[in-house]
């Protein structure tokens, strides 16, 4: 639209248009990034300075000195900026301060109005919040992974659980979906289209409708709080089958016919022709399924309530319950949880974006 | 295999040959999708209350068939002191909440289209912007909700990020977003729009825009069409298949509200005073917190019917508005 607008428009408009675009794009971009920046900023603040009456972007805290065994806040006098004083006590009608500098007056005690003081702050980044959050002393895991880990940090356990679950779910989904997609796209058998329409119809079913009976059966079989409960029901994706089928349909049949003449079996065609040609589609599905599985909240929440089996999302929710008001630690933990997803997304972004476009196509 | 090596090999492959490919997925699909859907309907006609059992044979007696009792309780009305009162007023309230929160959908979709048009300009750095806009969608919803709870924060002597911005813009007493029943839902809508506006819908619109031939705009420009006329008569009609898809998927997702479930679970617990409890959270509470699986299944079925009904109506009437060029 703009290219045409720019060509037809007068000279001033041609120059102005990109500026307007960038301003709008930038404003939205800032809005998107602001909460993330606020998260990182808070995660580096000192305990007790996360929540304040006037929020500060730069993590800072009051400068203090030790006088007679007490910690006193340092300020400068508003009317003489060179004078540093420490507040040593409160008195009726003002505060009592001790002069720190200039040297000539050091040690002198004065009484001033609090409004004459400008309290000094010092920027300090508390990276150790990340260590504190990671260690989460309040929720150590006494035993995990069938006795392999003892007295482990909760987030280590959540990470390993998320990796195990997401990797298994992703491998399982990509494998079963690609097989089924091959059958739906390259083979002719009775009832094929009916079954495929059945698959598509279930995409419309709210996930909770499916989860309730599966949860019931798992809990009756005493199988909640197992890796099986986390992994197996998530391994069969109608969506994945649909996505891969769409892609497999675009592979020319001539390649396959040539292989058939050479005596290739269907599995050989799948393995040596269709899969190698479908790397972008497989990468798309892998990125999709991995991110979805990594972020999945409701299903693990339903089937797991034992700490050693929690994945990152429900582990972070548990952490929030345990550290409700310690926002600097909550934000540090949120950063810890977000980082790997962002890395996977930045790597697989191209495939991800393609996949969305592909799933919107008619077929 | 004579049929296999005929000149149209792909047409004659028998079912048996397809079976090994189909089986893993089909079996999983039957066990973990189709059967559960049917089981959920069956479950909704029972009064199953989750309790540990020793043997599977006990399952039958734990699951008394109660006919349509759950649905009567859920959807029915009775007369109380001369006035009609719903048997389960909570359900209607939470259905209302769910529908109210779906007001964010048109805002989000309009925003996605707007962003997609901006991103479709031939300017440098568009990939960077698209990546930034997509970040909230791929970030863990739990982390996003914890961060937003902090952004909405409002306590005596403690002001959150959003309210400090509002105050610097001249709003003297900004709302206690998550603590005030009147403001909790708008807060959720703001957050959901923030999460969704640059996500899937935006990428779909961008793909749609890139499929519109440049010549259309050039021809329109020659005819003297302005920016709005070009949008109204070229972009919008040619994007209508995308819009149809986006609206359909957004509303299906909106009824389920999995992000808003996470938000309610983590940020408000469904409050204040039930203001942010959606049908999903109500189902979850019934099933997991109160162990009323039969009743939860009944609500889930109603949700399913709502989604299904909407999809049918949409398919029947919505598609008339779609322009296939």
Domain boundaries, chain A: 2-43, 60-123, 134-359
Using the Cβ of B193 and the Cβ atoms of chain A, whether some distance falls under 8 Å is answered with: no
Integer distance in angstroms from the first to the last C-alpha of chain B? Answer: 45
Residue of A nearest to B206 (CA): A357
pTM of the entire predicted model = 0.87
Nearest to A123 by CA among A81, A70, A61, A185: A61
Residue of A nearest to B157 (CA): A53
Count CB atoms within 10 A of the CB of residue B240: 18
Using the Cβ of B153 and the Cβ atoms of chain A, whether some distance falls under 8 Å is answered with: yes
Q: Report d(CA B89, CA B98) in Å as an integer.
A: 14
Q: Report d(CA A237, CA A174) in Å as an integer.
A: 9
> Which residues from B are below 8 Å from A42, CB to CB?
150
Question: Does any domain span residue B254?
Answer: yes
Of B142, B155, B242, which has the smallest distance from its Cβ to A360's Cβ?
Answer: B242
Q: What is the pLDDT of residue B11?
A: 47
Residue of A nearest to B231 (CA): A1
Q: Which of A97-111, B52-66, B239-253 has the highest mean pLDDT?
A: B239-253
Q: What is the pLDDT of residue A287?
A: 85
Render pLDDT for B35-46 as a digit per residue (tens, 0 to 9): 999 999 998 998
B293: CATH: 1.10.3720.10
Render pLDDT for B116-127 as a digit per residue (tens, 0 to 9): 999 998 888 888
Using the Cβ of B313 and the Cβ atoms of chain A, whether some distance falls under 8 Å is answered with: no
Q: What is the pLDDT of residue B1?
A: 40
CA separation (Å) from B113 to B119, B201, B235, B241?
Answer: 10, 8, 10, 13
* Chain B interface disruption, residue of A3, A4, A359, most B CBs within 10 A: A4
Instruction: Pick out chain A residues at pLDDT < 50.
Output: 1-8, 361-363
Of B18, B129, B160, which has the smallest distance from its Cβ to A187's Cβ?
Answer: B18
**Contact call for residues A293 and A181 (beta carbons, < 8 A):** no
Mean pLDDT of B134-151: 92
**Contact call for residues A144 and A346 (beta carbons, < 8 A):** no
Q: What is the pLDDT of residue B2?
A: 42
> Domain span at residue B259?
99-321
Using the Cβ of B295 and the Cβ atoms of chain A, whether some distance falls under 8 Å is answered with: no
Mean pLDDT of B275-281: 93
Q: What is the pLDDT of residue A260?
A: 84
> Which residues from A are below 8 Å from B261, CB to CB?
297-298
Contacts with B, A 215-244, CB within 8 Å = 215-216, 219-222, 232-233, 235-236, 238, 241
**Whether the predicted pLDDT of B103 surpasses 60:** yes
Q: Report d(CA A227, CA A293) in Å as an integer.
A: 13
Residue of A nearest to B162 (CA): A35
- The CATH class that applies to domain A134-359 reads mainly alpha
Could you tell me how far CA A56 lies from the centroid of its own chain? 24
Question: Does any domain span residue B145?
Answer: yes
Render pLDDT for A220-250 as a digit per residue (tens, 0 to 9): 888 889 999 999 999 988 888 988 888 888 8
**Contact call for residues A111 and A95 (beta carbons, < 8 A):** yes
* A93 compared with B301, residue with greater pLDDT: B301
Average pLDDT value over all residues in chain B: 86
**β-bridge partners, A91:** A94
Confidence of residue B14 (pLDDT cuts 50, 70, 90): low
Render pLDDT for B161-172 as a digit per residue (tens, 0 to 9): 898 889 889 888
> Which residues from B are below 8 Å from A260, CB to CB?
4-5, 9
Question: Does any domain span residue B302?
Answer: yes
Q: What is the pLDDT of residue B211?
A: 85
Q: What is the pLDDT of residue A13?
A: 65
Q: Which two tokens stand for residue B125?
A: 């750095």
**Whether the predicted pLDDT of B228 surpasses 50:** yes
Q: What is the pLDDT of residue B56?
A: 67
Helix (H, G, I), strand (E, B) or coil at B224: coil
**Whether the predicted pLDDT of B190 surpasses 80:** yes
Residue of A nearest to B244 (CA): A360
Nearest to A20 by CA among B301, B218, B118: B118
Q: What is the pLDDT of residue A182?
A: 92
Q: Report d(CA B6, CA B9) in Å as an integer.
A: 5
- HSE toward the beta carbon, residue B104, CA cutoff 13 A: 24
Contacts with B, A 250-289, CB within 8 Å = 253, 256-257, 260-261, 266-267, 270
Q: What is the pLDDT of residue A23?
A: 93
Q: Report d(CA B324, CA B239) in Å as an integer.
A: 9
Mean pLDDT of B15-20: 81
Q: What is the pLDDT of residue A266?
A: 85
Q: How many domains does chain B have?
A: 1
Question: Does any domain span residue B232?
Answer: yes
């Amino acid at each position: 639209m703009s290219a045409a607008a720019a060509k037809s428009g007068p000279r001033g408009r041609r120059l102005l248009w990109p500026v307007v675009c960038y301003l709008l794009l930038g404003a939205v971009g800032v809005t998107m990034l602001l909460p993330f920046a606020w998260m990182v900023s808070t995660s580096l603040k000192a305990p007790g300075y996360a929540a304040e009456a006037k929020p500060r972007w730069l993590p800072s805290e009051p400068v203090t000195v030790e006088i007679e065994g007490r910690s006193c806040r340092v300020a400068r006098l508003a009317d003489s900026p060179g004078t540093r004083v420490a507040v040593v006590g409160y008195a009726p009608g003002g505060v009592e301060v001790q002069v720190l500098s200039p040297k000539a007056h050091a040690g002198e005690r004065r009484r001033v109005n609090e409004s004459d003081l400008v309290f000094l702050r010092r920027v300090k980044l508390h990276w150790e919040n990340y260590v504190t959050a990671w260690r989460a002393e309040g929720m150590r895991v006494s035993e995990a992974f069938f006795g392999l880990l003892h007295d482990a940090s909760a987030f280590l356990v959540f990470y390993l659980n998320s990796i195990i679950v997401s990797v298994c779910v992703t491998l399982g989904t990509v494998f079963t979906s690609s097989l089924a997609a091959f059958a739906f796209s390259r083979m002719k058998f009775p009832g094929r289209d009916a079954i495929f329409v059945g698959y598509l119809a279930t995409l419309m079913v709210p996930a909770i409708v499916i989860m309730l009976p599966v949860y019931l059966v798992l809990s009756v079989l005493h199988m909640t709080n197992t890796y099986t409960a986390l992994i197996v029901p998530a391994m069969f994706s109608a969506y994945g089958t649909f996505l891969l089928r769409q892609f497999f349909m675009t592979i020319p049949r001539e390649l396959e016919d040539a292989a058939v003449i050479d005596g290739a079996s269907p599995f050989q065609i799948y393995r040596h022709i269709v899969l190698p040609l479908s790397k972008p589609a497989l990468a798309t599905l892998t990125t999709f399924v991995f991110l979805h599985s990594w972020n999945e909240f409701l299903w693990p929440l339903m089937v797991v309530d034992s700490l050693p089996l929690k994945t990152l999302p429900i582990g972070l929710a548990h952490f929030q319950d345990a550290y409700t008001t310690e926002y600097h630690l909550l934000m540090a933990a949120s950063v810890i949880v977000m980082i790997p997803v962002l890395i996977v997304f930045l790597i697989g972004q191209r495939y991800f974006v393609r996949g969305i476009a592909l799933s919107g196509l008619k077929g | 295999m004579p049929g296999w090596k005929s000149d149209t090999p792909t047409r004659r492959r028998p079912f048996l040959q397809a079976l090994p490919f189909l089986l893993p997925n089909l079996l999983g699909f039957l066990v973990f999708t189709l059967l559960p859907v049917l089981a959920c309907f069956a479950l909704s006609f029972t009064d199953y209350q989750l309790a540990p059992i020793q043997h599977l044979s006990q399952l039958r007696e734990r699951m008394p068939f109660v006919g349509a009792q759950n649905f009567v309780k859920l959807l029915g009305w009775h007369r109380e002191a001369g006035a009609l009162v719903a048997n389960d007023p909570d359900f209607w309230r939470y259905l209302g909440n769910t529908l109210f929160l779906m007001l964010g959908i048109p805002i989000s979709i309009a925003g996605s289209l707007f962003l997609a048009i901006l991103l479709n300009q031939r300017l440098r750095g568009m990939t960077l912007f698209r990546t930034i806009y997509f970040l909230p969608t791929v970030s863990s919803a739990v982390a996003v909700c914890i961060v937003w709870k902090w952004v909405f924060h409002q306590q005596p002597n403690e002001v959150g990020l959003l309210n400090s911005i509002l105050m610097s813009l001249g709003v003297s007493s900004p709302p206690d977003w998550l603590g005030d029943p009147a403001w909790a839902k708008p807060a959720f809508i703001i957050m959901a729009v923030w999460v969704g506006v640059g996500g899937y819908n935006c990428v779909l619109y961008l793909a749609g825009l890139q499929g519109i031939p440049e010549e259309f705009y050039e021809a329109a420009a020659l005819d003297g069409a302005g920016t709005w006329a070009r949008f109204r008569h070229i972009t919008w009609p040619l994007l209508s298949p995308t819009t149809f898809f986006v609206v359909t998927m957004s509303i299906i997702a909106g009824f389920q509200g999995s992000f808003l479930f996470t938000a309610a679970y983590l940020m408000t617990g469904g409050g204040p005073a039930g203001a942010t409890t959606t049908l999903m959270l109500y189902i979850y509470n019934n099933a997991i917190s109160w162990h009323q699986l039969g009743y939860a299944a009944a609500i889930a079925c109603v949700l399913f019917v709502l989604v299904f009904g909407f999809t049918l109506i949409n398919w029947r009437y919505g598609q008339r508005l779609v322009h296939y060029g």
